[in-house]
A and B are shown apart, each in its own frame.
Chain A
Amino acid sequence: MKEFRAFVKKEFHHIFRDKRTLLVLFGMPLAQLILFGYAITTEVENAKMMVWNQSPGQFSNALIDKMISSEFFTLTESVNSRKEMLDVFRKSKAHIAVVIPQNFEEDFYRGEASIQIIADGSDPNLATILAAGAKGIIMTWMKGKILNPVSIETIGTSVRWHYNPDLKSVLMFVPGVITIILMLVNTTLSSISITREKELGTIEILYVSPLKPSVIILGKLAPFVLLSILNATVILLVAYVVFEVPVNGSVMLLFLESLLFILTALSLGVLISTVANTQQTALMLSLFSMMLPTILLSGFIFPISSMPVPLQVISNIIPARWFLVIIKGIMLKGLGIEYMWKETAILMGMTLFLIGLSIKKYKIRLQ
């Protein structure tokens, strides 16, 4: 136990004396939050909108006024034909077009109105957010116009919209950032920290000491568990204070699930370090085998349902995919364990498999 404590102390010295590690640990999460939180919301506020109003009049103008007054959109163009509309899109003078059909008012009161929203898909993320935003404003407006809301079901709603009523993209990104940070800290930093000892030659001394391999590995990993829990807490606090993103579900459950995911990431880190002999290889391996798939295939940025089938299949083996479902469920929907036992079981299985593999691969010798 004394050896273990000495080991952990040494690891903390390494971490706190290396500016780069510190920056990755604490600078990166904040930078990502701010990047995702602010950069994307300001874009939405300045969205340029064009209108093709085929039934001009008081009724349709009221709808357009409502949209502009939301400060979400600015009216930049009014067009009168499909050709004109496409032209405006080509010149990038508008992000989104709202097409109001002929006989809008009559159709509306008959419950058959259909407003077309066309978004510039060259930036799919922005397009999704804008389309959802426009839909939302139109629906609210319509609800105020008639007594029976059932009759507007024809327009349809977006699921994401439902859990993110203010359209704050930061809501979607907080769980994603936590997932990425946990992966980054635990997989990348832990594999680098083990391979660094290989490079320095100190690993040979550790092998030749009476230390048990389990003490070496646990001693290496313990600081990262503590630091990433701390990290997740900081991100949640910042998200709450700055962006007013609450945790709707049980905080306790959130931490327990995070701990499970941390273990998954750590066992991956150890596995990488049994293969890599230099810090550089470890970094490359963890970046390409874990970071990129985590960002691209976990559903964080691109929805899994819209991926080609082969990629959907691959996404199944990415731990972050399952954790993202869990963390979104707890934070945004306030769900309990009964709704996510399947994802939890999958993560547990993965962790056990990885730990087993690492133990099998871990050597008490160099070769």
Chain B
Amino acid sequence: MQNDSVIIANKLTKKFGHFTAVDAITFDVRKGEIFGFLGANGAGKTTAIKMMCGLSRPTAGEATVAGFDVNTQPNEIKKHIGYMSQHFSLYQDMTIRENIRFYGGIYGLRGKVIKQRREELIAELGIEEYANRRVEELPLGWKQKLAFSIAIIHEPEIVFLDEPTSGVDPITRRQFWNMIYEAAERGITVFVTTHYLEEAEYCNRVSIMVDGQLRDLDTPKALMDKYHKKNMNDVFVQLASTSTRTE
């Protein structure tokens, strides 16, 4: 195991009664990597992410995230990660400035720092004219970009993105991915799930979960070569259709 790994999972397992949602997955994610976490609906992705974010205790196995143990230091983990999902939209009835202030506050940033980051962020996104307006007035694509910027406002070591681009138009999606690249360049590790499989090809490495197990993990190119497919979609379909889970 390398020293620069920010996530190390070792036989991480979660059972609900007789049902094994996540079945002894072992992997590591390196610093500054864009790591794609793929799997069919019900393959156990969400459960795995919850464990890594310190929201759910593993039944067996262990994992460290940003150097902290998911079993014993879940609160430390929460301070060092960022999280955004398609459902996590900002507070619609608060202005953009208020949202940034609030999230800066809950991540423990000081008032002065928040103010400075906030103005930087508004300038970077080019949304000065919206800054004092309510989030609900913002187009969907910008909401998602803003949500991402806020998820990394405290410069976390890792940011978890759960289907961040669902339903967004193709140009905005690419602008979104540019922001992901920039974050990765700055050293923020990006852990992302998506249903757009060509997005999987933007990742440095991709893992594919089937029936709670990690079926394969490699660079997109290596995976396509290994399965003799011309894109990740076909690789995914081939692996995921081996699923025997009926539910």
A–B direct contact (CB < 8 Å): no
